[in-house]
Copies of this chain bind each other. A is one copy, B any other.
């Protein structure tokens, strides 16, 4: 938010006016500065949380904190240091590591902020969305769209962690948060071998149920994307003859609603990127912010000129209009979630090559 310029001159009539305006809850534009900036001003800063530390801290939380404590989820939320101490990873996005111990369950609730889970490692937990159990394993993407009931179950012997992303800060900024706790107790038995969602919409590309729903939902009806499919889609792109993908060393898949081709949820775009070793491309910046979870590989990213080495499990916040370069030292698989659908829907999306000379500072 802009700050007021207190350059009140000596004119007593003007001082009186300023006083009367303040009393009436009005502000003179001529006393304000910084309202309109040449390019976007992001409140958050580029930031990286290390996977190694997240895992270690998640494990300690698993030992010390019962799952049913505040919030009913054992969650470490990313707190961007420039966002005023709040628990938000960037201005529109919440990011977190969630940890579920053996035979634990996180009970049902629903809320208008939409959520997604990208599994960084392990398997065995399943998430129930509106009564449909969805298996979670490394590389899977599981959606819990706005206002769907959801609960997490770990029937096995090993703990499991995953990356959570929500549009909570955005929905809070739009003053549209609704929350409802679920019925107790949650079911601990279900067969997530394949969900109804996947049986209906996940059998293959371009195959939809013949009977169309009377009222389509705002989100994708396919609530789980399996890593095997995503991996194959990325690998396939590199084998298309004469494709740009091969030339650039960058394959790139967008998770889509199979009934519409739109993003899986109206507020968040989910993508998987694969960068071949040696990949290099000009720096880019765009409006909107994103969170990246490093799934496989090693390399570094350069964010507004600062280099960050990355390794599996790292989580990265990229605020709006940050210049981004990705360099793969080993084949890199990166999951990203962004608010791009919001900016596109409102016709506020822009991107450009970051032509300013990028001088990379030493690695952090």
**In the complex, chain B residues whose CB is within 8 Å of the CB of A264:** 206
Output the least CB separation between A306 and chain B (Å).
Answer: 16
**In the complex, chain B residues whose CB is within 8 Å of the CB of A21:** 57, 76
Chain A 334-364 interface 0/1 with B at a Cβ cutoff of 8 Å (1 = within)? 0000010011011110100000000000000
Check B252–A257 contact: CB distance below 8 A. no
Chain A 83-108 interface 0/1 with B at a Cβ cutoff of 8 Å (1 = within)? 11111100110001100000000000
Among B205, B218, B244, which residue has its beta carbon within 8 angstroms of that of A205? Answer: B205
Output the least CB separation between A45 and chain B (Å).
Answer: 10
**In the complex, chain B residues whose CB is within 8 Å of the CB of A112:** 348
Check A91–B146 contact: CB distance below 8 A. no
Check B222–A209 contact: CB distance below 8 A. no
Among B69, B113, B244, B348, which residue has its beta carbon within 8 angstroms of that of A176? Answer: B348
- A266 to B315 CA separation, bound complex (whole angstroms): 33
* A172 interface residue (CB < 8 Å to B): yes
Chain A 164-185 interface 0/1 with B at a Cβ cutoff of 8 Å (1 = within)? 0000110111111111100000
Q: Which of A249-280 contact B (CB under 8 A)?
A: 251-261, 264, 266-267, 271, 273
Output the least CB separation between A135 and chain B (Å).
Answer: 15
- A71 to B53 CA separation, bound complex (whole angstroms): 47
How many monomers of this chain does the complex have?
4
Check A30–B240 contact: CB distance below 8 A. no
Check B253–A209 contact: CB distance below 8 A. yes
Q: How large is the interface on A (under 10, 10 to 19, 20 to 34, 35 or more residues)?
A: 35 or more
Among B42, B203, B209, B287, which residue has its beta carbon within 8 angstroms of that of A229? Answer: B203
Check B176–A206 contact: CB distance below 8 A. no
**In the complex, chain B residues whose CB is within 8 Å of the CB of A346:** 174, 266-267, 342, 345
* A300 interface residue (CB < 8 Å to B): no
Determine which residue in A27, A96, A111 has the highest number of CB atoms from chain B within 10 A of its CB, and name it.
A27
* A325 interface residue (CB < 8 Å to B): no
- Assess A207 versus B180: contact at CB under 8 Å? Given A64-B17, A91-B173, A174-B92: no
- Assess A273 versus B210: contact at CB under 8 Å? Given A31-B70, A64-B13: yes
Among B35, B36, B41, which residue has its beta carbon within 8 angstroms of that of A175? Answer: B41
Determine which residue in A36, A50, A76 has the highest number of CB atoms from chain B within 10 A of its CB, and name it.
A36
Chain A 116-152 interface 0/1 with B at a Cβ cutoff of 8 Å (1 = within)? 0000000000000000000000000000001000000
